Amino acid sequence: MRHLLSVADLDAAEATALLDTSDRLREALLGREVRKLPTLRGRTVITMFYENSTRTRVSFEIAGKWMSADTVNVSASGSSVSKGESLRDTALTLSSMGADCVVVRHPASGSAHRLAHWVDTAGSTGGPRIGTDRAVTGTPTAIVNAGDGTHEHPTQALLDAATLRDRLGGIAGRRIGIVGDVLHSRVARSNVLLLATLGAEVVLVAPPTLLPTGVESWPCRVSHELDAELPALDAIMMLRVQSERMHGGFFPSAREYAVRFGLSEDRARLLPDHAVVLHPGPMIRGMEIAPAVADAPNAAVLAQVRNGVHVRMAVLYHLLAGAPE
């Protein structure tokens, strides 16, 4: 694996290998007083976030630190980005400083792919020399997509798959509902692709205004009736309503959204007893999910966060040290 840009680049064997590595790293750290593996000593991981983040940025930093990598965080507001520097120049600057991996979040869909292209080709056509220099050292910078606009969020899908595997004992043949603002959700797209690759049956439940055009070609079924789907689900993933990406009215009011697509306590009772409740966070309690449902024993929200660290360790491990035998 050279970069991690999209879950579409992973086949079932590669995705399963990442999840297995994540499990092994979790086991390796279990019960240790000092959570430090030497695996990535001397390697440098830079996170470059142009959008807000709590879970993703911090868990990449912890993941790097627990494997002894040097981690550096760059945020748009505290860097030369606020002076008008382009994404390309910023990324090539970080790469030439010796970043083995740049973890990037950016509001533009496709930005991580562009970055990977620039890092791979810089220097080859008489441009900046850094690509050549890094080719000489033999350690080209790996790019990880930590969320590009409404497009993809591969490590979120991997940590969700890890959580579902833990809670359900497997993913193949399970029915997973993904509910809410699919239109603006990179989490939904990455999850549909990855869960389908791993053999799950996925159903998207959303109002027609919050579904993207072309959703018919996604490997899933689409429904507008949440109550009708609930009794047959093994897991339900509630999505955040991405108001920062909405320009216009996609539903009449927050209250109406909650009534039709929120996971209330009454509605959660329609789920089978074994069903798992997920949310990628940040949760808008009371709108997307009732507080009592988010905190119930079958909710896996904090388990998702915990798995996020191990999955991101696995991704860094596969990219920077090679997949284990």
Using CB under 6 A as the criterion, which residues of the chain lie in contact with ligand ASP when the complex forms? Answer: 147, 153, 156, 186-187, 240, 242, 280-281
Q: How far is the CB of 322 from ligand ASP (least distance, A)?
A: 28
Is 84 marked as binding a ligand?
A: no
Structure tokens at 62: 């912890």
Is 56 marked as binding a ligand?
A: yes
When the beta carbons of 92 and 104 are compared against ligand ASP, the nearer one is 104
Q: How far is the CB of 74 from ligand ASP (least distance, A)?
A: 17
Cα distance between residue 55 and residue 47, in whole Å: 13
Name the DSSP class of 4: B
Is 281 marked as binding a ligand?
A: yes
Q: Where are the beta strands (DSSP E) in the chain?
A: 44-49, 70-75, 101-106, 142-148, 175-179, 201-205, 221-223, 235-238, 276-278
Q: Where are the beta strands (DSSP E) in 217-319?
A: 221-223, 235-238, 276-278
CA 15 to chain CA mean position, Å: 13
Q: Where are the beta strands (DSSP E) in 28-134?
A: 44-49, 70-75, 101-106
Is 35 marked as binding a ligand?
A: no
Q: How far is CA 226 from CA 44, 78, 179, 234, in A?
A: 45, 43, 8, 14
8 Å CB contact between 235 and 254: no
When the beta carbons of 107 and 127 are compared against ligand ASP, the nearer one is 107
Q: How far is CA 225 from CA 19, 126, 207, in A?
A: 32, 56, 9
When the beta carbons of 223 and 242 are compared against ligand ASP, the nearer one is 242
Q: How far is CA 103 from CA 33, 84, 143, 234, in A?
A: 28, 20, 6, 32
When the beta carbons of 44 and 56 are compared against ligand ASP, the nearer one is 56
When the beta carbons of 114 and 186 are compared against ligand ASP, the nearer one is 186
Is 105 marked as binding a ligand?
A: yes
Q: How far is the CB of 83 from ligand ASP (least distance, A)?
A: 26
Is 55 marked as binding a ligand?
A: yes
Structure tokens at 164: 């579902």
Q: How far is the CB of 153 from ligand ASP (least distance, A)?
A: 5
Q: How far is the CB of 189 from ligand ASP (least distance, A)?
A: 10
When the beta carbons of 59 and 197 are compared against ligand ASP, the nearer one is 59
Nearest C-alpha neighbor of 173 from the set 202, 201, 207: 201
Structure tokens at 78: 């505290």
Q: Which residue's CB comes closest to ligand ASP?
A: 240
Is 153 marked as binding a ligand?
A: yes
Q: How far is the CB of 248 from ligand ASP (least distance, A)?
A: 19
Structure tokens at 268: 């959660």
Q: How far is the CB of 48 from ligand ASP (least distance, A)?
A: 15
Is 65 marked as binding a ligand?
A: no
When the beta carbons of 168 and 301 are compared against ligand ASP, the nearer one is 301
User: Which residues carry a binding-site annotation for carbamoyl phosphate?
Assistant: 55-56, 105, 153, 156, 281-282
Known binding residues for L-aspartate are 83, 186, 240
- Could you list the residues known to form a binding site, using ranges: 55-56, 83, 105, 153, 156, 186, 240, 281-282
